[in-house]
Chain A
Amino acid sequence: MISRIVNLEKSRYSENVVRKTLFWLSSICEWSLDERFDNWEITLSSPDENSLHEFNRILNDQILREKIDMETRGLRRNIIIKALEDMEKSK
């Protein structure tokens, strides 16, 4: 079993990004998360290196998703409000 400790600075990686990454990683390897003052300390345990590469890939994708979310959050909120108004009117 290969274990690796990864430290992610809180200033660069939000809790949401870290937790969503670990959510998807749970089907591939074991992990634990410790919150430190300035960083997230993640311990990954896997039988092979591939899972650890996968962590980096998923982490990168979650950062991209967070970027999309920040760009479009206001619009999505307005969409939901408008959609609920439309459904209410159609009753």
Chain B
Amino acid sequence: MKLLPFNFERWDNGKIFISNMLGFHHVLNNSEELESLIDAVGDNHENDLYYKKFLVHENEYSTATQLYASSYAWKTGRGIVNPYLFIVVPTLRCDHDCNYCQVSRVNSSASGFDLDLEHIPQIVTHILKYGKAPYKIEFQGGEPLLAFDFIKEFIEYVEANHDEATFEYVIATSLSLLSQDVLDFSKNRPIHFSVSLDGTPIIHNANRKHKLINSYERVGEGIKEIQKQLGSSRVATVTTVTKELIENPKAIVEAHIAMQLNDMFVRPLSPYGFSTKTYNRNYGVEEYTRFYHSLLDILVETNSGYRLVEQNLLIHLERIFRKDLNNYVDLKSPAGHVMGALVFNYDGNVFGSDEARMLHKLHGVESLILGKVNEELSILGSNETINILSDSFISEIPGCDECAYQPFCGVDPMYHLSTQYDHIGNRARSDFCKLQKYIFAMIFQKLEIPKFEILFHQWMEYE
């Protein structure tokens, strides 16, 4: 037998995880098995390692080259795509004062922080030029419902001038301003709502502050009305894990069950906006991974009686088991910057990702601006963009090149630009890398436990 290329990672339990360019993976029991594989010793028995293309007969070497090449070309090509997520920021104003606000929002009464209505036709033109149907439009802020007039006019413009059936919308909102007008407008339109839910009332309100209302109560009321009037599938949550939640993973499960939600999306604090001041003082990767481990233990028991899917984990599962998928903007190779998303900001600037607009706001990185809404746009026109993208092929990044989770993972140049002032970054010092390695290792280890294997496959079947 001859050896084919592969990478390996050691687990704390002594086992060794291996994978290859084709996305096949295997778990070896110990170092002896690893060394035997590398030496391609043993008889010519066609075992798992042969079928998963870690070994090949000498007379099949040429065929193996063709197979690997086709797969590598296909996988790489799948990542080089037009933008498919279009974020429109109608306002940076917000009525909340969240501690970890990533976008450095301004007060709801501030002026000069709204996108002009006259830009709507230009934004739609850019979307049609660079995207492909179905066009996914996400209204972000600030608090987008403070500029609901803009949202209405945008959607009505699309309906009057284009094939409305090819557009779908998400409004990322705290629901503090959800009114019957908003619900009526959304009723027969493909409009979904994404809302932050950070835990029980005390935990949620500790970081998501509003001067006049109880933020958690308003979230609960809003979710209930959307479920009642529009349907349960029209609202989804995002949970940002704060230090108040990190010791109490059960709180977020209870909060979702209390609101009759069947999906959750859990993520750590990110190094943008207001949270950069306290990012390193909140908690480290090790604490987050302990939280996440406990959360999954709770979820496997919860799901025996109540369906509750952790969507962030599901994205990772799909990256492993659905090799045709490479469309989660924050975990793809090459990066989802520009080749995944475009952001039309309140000030008329266009960015290649939400994180790029946050970095620009915080550090004034002008080279991240792709152009202006009201001008002819060339999204690959700048050297900075080309550099970022050409440096984001995961198999070429130092550290990633030898990682066994490479076939499933992605790159996040904005994260590294924010934390290491370099879009490639040093993976040995990258919390992004540590976290992704942890998540993938945890998934593969848990797949060896029947109750988790069943749960993870159930979650994938729901999709």
A and B: interacting chains: yes
Binding site for B on A (CB under 8 A): 20, 23-27, 57, 61, 64-65, 67-68, 71-72, 75-76, 78-87, 90
Is A61 a contact partner of B4 (Cβ separation < 8 A)?
no
Contact of A27 among B72, B76, B429 (CB under 8 A): B429
| A67 vs chain B, min Cβ distance (A) | 5
Is A64 a contact partner of B429 (Cβ separation < 8 A)?
no
Interface positions of B from 1 to 48, Cβ below 8 Å from A = 2-8, 10, 21, 34-35, 38, 40
Is A68 a contact partner of B5 (Cβ separation < 8 A)?
yes
Is A72 a contact partner of B34 (Cβ separation < 8 A)?
no
Is B68 a contact partner of A75 (Cβ separation < 8 A)?
yes
Given known pairs A76-B5, A87-B77, the reply for A65 and B402 (CB within 8 Å) is yes
Contacting chain A: which of B58-66, B142-150, B306-314, B454-462? B58-66
A-B Cβ contacts below 8 A, count? 73
| B204 vs chain A, min Cβ distance (A) | 34
List the 5 shortest-distance A-B pairs measured between CB atoms, nearest first.
Answer: A82-B69, A83-B73, A72-B5, A86-B73, A27-B428
| A21 vs chain B, min Cβ distance (A) | 11
Given known pairs A75-B65, A82-B65, the reply for A68 and B76 (CB within 8 Å) is no
| B433 vs chain A, min Cβ distance (A) | 10
A-B contact pairs, 9 of them (CB 8 A): A25-B428, A26-B426, A61-B8, A61-B10, A68-B3, A68-B5, A71-B40, A72-B4, A79-B65
Is B61 a contact partner of A75 (Cβ separation < 8 A)?
yes
Q: How many residues of B contact A (CB 8 A)?
A: 30
Contact of B77 among A20, A72, A82, A90 (CB under 8 A): A90
Q: Which residue of A lies closest to B21 (CB)?
A: A79
Contact of A67 among B38, B64, B73, B426 (CB under 8 A): B38
Residue B214 interfacial (CB < 8 Å)? no
Is A71 a contact partner of B73 (Cβ separation < 8 A)?
no
Further pairs besides A65-B402, A84-B73, A90-B77: 7, Cβ < 8 Å: A23-B426, A23-B428, A68-B38, A75-B5, A75-B61, A75-B65, A82-B70
Q: What's the dominant secondary structure at chain A's contact region?
A: helix
> Which of the listed residues A24, A26, A83 has the most CB atoms from chain B within 10 Å of its own CB?
A83
| A60 vs chain B, min Cβ distance (A) | 9
Is B398 a contact partner of A23 (Cβ separation < 8 A)?
yes
Is B6 a contact partner of A68 (Cβ separation < 8 A)?
yes
Q: Which residue of B lies closest to A77 (CB)?
A: B65
Considering the chains assembled together, what is the distance between the CA atoms of A26 and B68 in angstroms?
A: 33
Given known pairs A27-B429, A64-B34, A64-B35, the reply for A83 and B5 (CB within 8 Å) is no
Is A75 a contact partner of B64 (Cβ separation < 8 A)?
yes
Residues in A with CB closer than 8 Å to B190 are none
Is A23 a contact partner of B399 (Cβ separation < 8 A)?
yes
Residues in B with CB closer than 8 Å to A57 are 10
Residues in A with CB closer than 8 Å to B7 are 65
Considering the chains assembled together, what is the distance between the CA atoms of A79 and B73 in angstroms?
A: 9
Q: Which residue of A lies closest to B75 (CB)?
A: A83
Is B70 a contact partner of A86 (Cβ separation < 8 A)?
yes
Is B426 a contact partner of A75 (Cβ separation < 8 A)?
no
Is A82 a contact partner of B66 (Cβ separation < 8 A)?
yes
Residues in B with CB closer than 8 Å to A26 are 426, 428-429
Is B38 a contact partner of A78 (Cβ separation < 8 A)?
no
> Which of the listed residues B77, B426, B428 has the most CB atoms from chain A within 10 Å of its own CB?
B428
Considering the chains assembled together, what is the distance between the CA atoms of A86 and B65 in angstroms?
A: 12
Is A87 a contact partner of B35 (Cβ separation < 8 A)?
no
Considering the chains assembled together, what is the distance between the CA atoms of A65 and B4 in angstroms?
A: 13
Residues in A with CB closer than 8 Å to B66 are 82
> Which of the listed residues B73, B402, B426 has the most CB atoms from chain A within 10 Å of its own CB?
B73
Considering the chains assembled together, what is the distance between the CA atoms of A23 and B64 in angstroms?
A: 32
Residues in B with CB closer than 8 Å to A87 are 73, 76-77
Is B428 a contact partner of A78 (Cβ separation < 8 A)?
no
Is B69 a contact partner of A78 (Cβ separation < 8 A)?
yes
| B280 vs chain A, min Cβ distance (A) | 15
Q: Which residue of B lies closest to A67 (CB)?
A: B38
Contact of A75 among B4, B10, B35, B38 (CB under 8 A): B4
Interface positions of B from 234 to 281, Cβ below 8 Å from A = none
Considering the chains assembled together, what is the distance between the CA atoms of A25 and B426 in angstroms?
A: 12
